[in-house]
Amino acid sequence: MTFKLSLKKLILGILSLFLIYLIGTLLFFNATPVEILITSEVEVSHGVKDDQFRIESAQLSGRAWVGGNDIQVLTRGSEIFHAMFNDIGSASRSITKETYNFYGDDVAKPMAEALSEAAERGVQVKFLMDFIGSALAENGLFDNMRDSGVEVERWREPAWYQIARFNHRTHRKLLNIDGRVAYTGGANTADPWLPDHEDGGYKDYHFRITGPVVSEMQGAFAENWASARGELITGPEFFRTPSETGNLLVQVTTSHPREGQKRVRTMLLYAMASAEESIRIGSAYFFPDDKFIDAMLAARQRGVQIQLLMPGETIDQNYVRLASQTLWGPLFEAGVEIYEYNNTMYHAKKMIVDDYFVTVGSTNFDNRSFRLNDETNINILDETFGETMTSYFLDDIGASERITLEEWENRPLLHRIWGHVVARTIGSYL
């Protein structure tokens, strides 16, 4: 009896130590923010229209600017998915797709069917989706795609030996067809994006890209596919040199939650430091680190107009909005214009500097996108495209409510308390 009792205690002790190890690992690696490299103010002596900006930004981000591209702006869920399904239906060589959210009968199911049909006609199809973001999808969709020949990977599926990376999600939205046309933007492959925003769907922007930069976007997908599957994508089915289709100068910027690879945050800070006239930011979630706020305040001191657009009461995660409001005091004092979009959930991710530099993609202006998620943005240097995106931005502002300092100061006490609680406890991971 004594021997059995001791053995039982030994087993319980081992299990307890293992549980402590798992919890400790989870807390240390996931609850400890990854170090941010740039902690001092970025100072530049030129604007985004200067050739020096193009030269330096290529070196700082590790990606070249590529000319000869064309971009179609898609602003409604119906046109976003209609364009995607058309291109998928015409694919003859390869399809690569990466997304965060994947669920729903109206979007995910038809997408799974379209990818399966492509695989059955001989197209190589590789689909990478985030495990958490696809948790609501029917398991049958995965089985059906795999049975049809689609290579499906779910990013960061929970495993005890990878628990330290569980909080590192892929938030990218990439689609590449035959290495000749690509998509990116804010829209996930899920039902909330299908109705047009006038009909209750999310307000978002997605982009159809053609031209030589499509190969750069394929490279961004290849990075995460290799990380997820240990497989290197090669061959003319995936990589080709697309013909020039326009005159846009475009750069791809990727970010990873690894030391030295927070390139999107670096690019944003550099572009803001280069602003001479205006900075316009639209983001589904706004909770950046102190240095980002400092960059905005420094721009205001230079006389740069700053307009910030976010979702209002229609936001899908209200605790983020309340936490965001705790950051607004210094911004109001500096003269930053803050707007809330209340018609539906505003899910865009974009920044426009001097109506010339534009960055769009999957990156929100928050700590999670800057430090924990895998993200991909495309940057564009072009006056006409900049004016087009500015026009869309101003239209969105016209449908929004400008928040005043008085309204902010008089917000409900419970909102203040809850906002500070969230900001001080999990703000680094929002």
pLDDT in the model for residue 256: 85
pLDDT band at 20 (very low <50, low <70, confident <90, very high): low
- Tokens representing 242? 């697309």
pLDDT in tens, 245-290: 999 999 999 998 865 568 999 999 999 999 999 999 999 999 999 9
> Does the pLDDT value for residue 119 go beyond 90?
yes
Q: Which among 211, 227, 256 has a CA at the least distance from the CA of 61?
A: 256
Indicate whether 235 and 354 sit together in one domain: no
Q: How does residue 39 score in pLDDT terms, banded at 50, 70 and 90?
A: confident
pLDDT tens for 60-91 read 888 999 999 999 999 999 999 999 999 999 99
Count the domains in the chain.
3
The better pLDDT of the pair 253, 13 is held by 253
Residue span of the structural domain in which 214 resides:
68-246
Residue 221 pLDDT class (50, 70, 90 cuts): very high
Residues forming a β-bridge with 352: 280, 358
Q: What is the mean pLDDT of residues 238-243?
A: 91
Give residue-wise pLDDT tens across range 335-379: 999 999 999 999 999 999 999 999 999 999 999 999 899 999 999
128 and 26 co-located in one domain: no
**CA–CA distance, 181 with 210 (Å, rounded to integer):** 5
160 — pLDDT class (breaks 50, 70, 90): low
Output the pLDDT for position 5. Answer: 42
User: How many CA within 13 A on the CB side of residue 303?
Assistant: 2
Per-residue confidence band for 158, with pLDDT thresholds at 50, 70 and 90: confident
Last-in-domain residue among 218, 246, 274: 246
Q: Are residues 331 and 373 in the same domain?
A: yes
Output the CA torsion 321→325→326→329 (10° steps).
Answer: 160
Maximum alpha-carbon separation in the chain: 84
Domain boundary among 189, 222, 246: 246
Q: Are residues 319 and 194 in the same domain?
A: no
